[in-house]
């Protein structure tokens, strides 16, 4: 199958996937106990007022009709109104998006900064002390809850040095860098073990490959070979691995934003869940799912474009 028909087919797969995702988010409303109309109108409303709102929202229609209408609303970018703030959910999301984008960008940057050198060292000195130390540190990293790591960084770094704010998100660029550094580091410490593990394996296979042996036999310097083959391969495959970890990173953002009181999407979801604000929960959940679908799609397309060896299954 040609590359472009693969991409076209991959794009088409997104449609049923999105319908399934919207169905799950829609069902949240159906399985949540309690009357949603009561939530909106308040406890003191009369029966007539309740009926009026119910009429307005057409909640008496068949479930499938309601689902269809829900899909149509979402297609128009309407995610409903928050029970709590009475604002459109889309505007809540817009306000919080910037913070999460900062956290993920800085977190991914630090993850690569930690993982790539560590994986190269582990692959080159396989089985020796450096490899063992990196492996042990990875095991430790996998066992530490991110929120606890965050609290420990506050205790051991932020409080004694006073360089970083204990929480919140700054206004100016400099303040933002300072307020995002420890949260991003927390995210990176949690995700690096995954990246290091798979990078190490892929680099070992590159090091054992014929073309590296040929390069070595034809007198290429070790440093040049590493830069030319190993590092380049590592950079490309670490992006793929990171793409697969996007769900993990997003949950990390939820936990870390709550730990550091960062007003991002993750904190928004937690506050919405604590406040029983169903439309906001649906909006955030949908958005996170869309991010995952989009990242998987982009990574598949990027791989099909970049790597001529990709075997495309029908």
Residues forming contacts to other proteins in the complex (CB under 8 A) are 17, 20-21, 24-25, 28, 31-33, 126-127, 129, 131-132, 135-136, 139-140, 142-148, 151-152, 154-155, 159, 204, 246-248, 250-251, 254-255, 258-259, 269-270, 273-274, 276, 278, 281-282, 284-285, 288-289, 291-293, 296
Task: State the nearest-atom distance from the C-beta of 221 to other proteins, in Å.
Answer: 25
Provide, rounded to whole angstroms, the least separation between the CB of residue 17 and other proteins.
5
Q: Give whichever of 119 and 254 is closer to other proteins, judged by the CB atom.
A: 254
**Residue 304 to residue 274: CA distance in whole angstroms:** 42
* Nearest distance, CB of residue 139 and other proteins, angstroms: 5
- Per DSSP (E only), the strands in the chain are none
Which one, 129 or 172, has the nearer CB to other proteins?
129
Q: How far is the CB of 269 from other proteins (least distance, A)?
A: 6
Q: Give every CB contact of residue 227 below 8 A, 6+ residues apart in sequence.
A: none
Residue number, 6 or 147, with CB nearest to other proteins: 147
CB of 47 to other proteins, least distance (A): 26
Pair 99, 268: CB distance under 8 Å: no
Q: Name the region of 276 (left: φ>0; alpha: ψ -120 to 50; beta: rest).
A: left
Q: Quick one: 45 or 204, whose CB is closer to other proteins? A: 204
Could you tell me the sign of the dihedral formed by the alpha carbons of 15, 18, 24, 27, in that order?
A: negative
Q: How far is the CB of 9 from other proteins (least distance, A)?
A: 14
With 0-12 / 13-18 / 19 or more C-beta atoms within 10 angstroms meaning exposed / middle / buried, residue 43 is exposed
Q: Among residues 270 and 304, whose Cβ is nearest to other proteins?
A: 270
Beta carbon nearer to other proteins, 125 or 177: 125
Half-sphere exposure of 42 (CA within 13 A, CB side): 4
| Euclidean distance between CA atoms 298 and 122, whole angstroms | 29
Angle of the 3-31 helix axis to the 278-306 helix axis, nearest 10: 170
């Amino acid at each position: 199958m040609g590359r472009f028909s693969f991409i076209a087919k991959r794009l088409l797969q997104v449609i049923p996937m999105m319908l399934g995702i919207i169905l799950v988010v829609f069902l949240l409303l159906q399985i949540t106990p309690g009357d949603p109309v009561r939530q909106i109108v308040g406890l003191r409303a009369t029966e007539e007022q309740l009926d009026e709102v119910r009429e307005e929202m057409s909640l008496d229609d068949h479930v499938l009709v309601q689902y269809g209408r829900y899909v149509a609303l979402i297609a128009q970018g309407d995610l409903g109104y928050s029970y709590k703030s009475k604002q459109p959910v889309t505007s809540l999301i817009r306000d919080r998006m910037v913070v999460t984008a900062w956290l993920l960008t800085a977190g991914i940057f630090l993850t690569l900064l930690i993982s790539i050198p560590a994986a190269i060292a582990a692959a080159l000195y396989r089985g020796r002390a450096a490899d063992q130390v990196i492996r042990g540190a990875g095991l430790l990293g996998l066992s530490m809850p991110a929120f606890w790591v965050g609290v420990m960084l506050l205790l051991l770094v932020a409080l004694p040095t006073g360089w970083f704010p204990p929480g919140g998100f700054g206004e100016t660029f400099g303040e933002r860098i300072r307020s995002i550094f420890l949260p991003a580091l927390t995210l990176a410490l949690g995700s690096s073990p995954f990246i290091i593990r798979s990078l190490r394996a892929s680099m070992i296979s590159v090091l054992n490959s014929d073309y590296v042996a040929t390069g070595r036999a034809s007198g290429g310097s070790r440093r040049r070979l590493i830069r030319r083959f190993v590092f380049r391969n590592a950079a490309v495959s670490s992006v793929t691995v990171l793409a697969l970890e996007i769900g993990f990173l997003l949950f990390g953002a939820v936990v870390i934003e709550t730990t550091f009181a960062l007003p991002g999407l993750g904190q928004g979801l937690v506050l919405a869940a604590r406040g029983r604000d169903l439309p906001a929960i649906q909006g955030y959940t949908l958005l996170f799912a869309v991010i995952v679908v989009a990242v998987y799609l982009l990574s598949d397309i990027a791989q099909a474009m970049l790597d001529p060896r990709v075997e495309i299954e029908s």
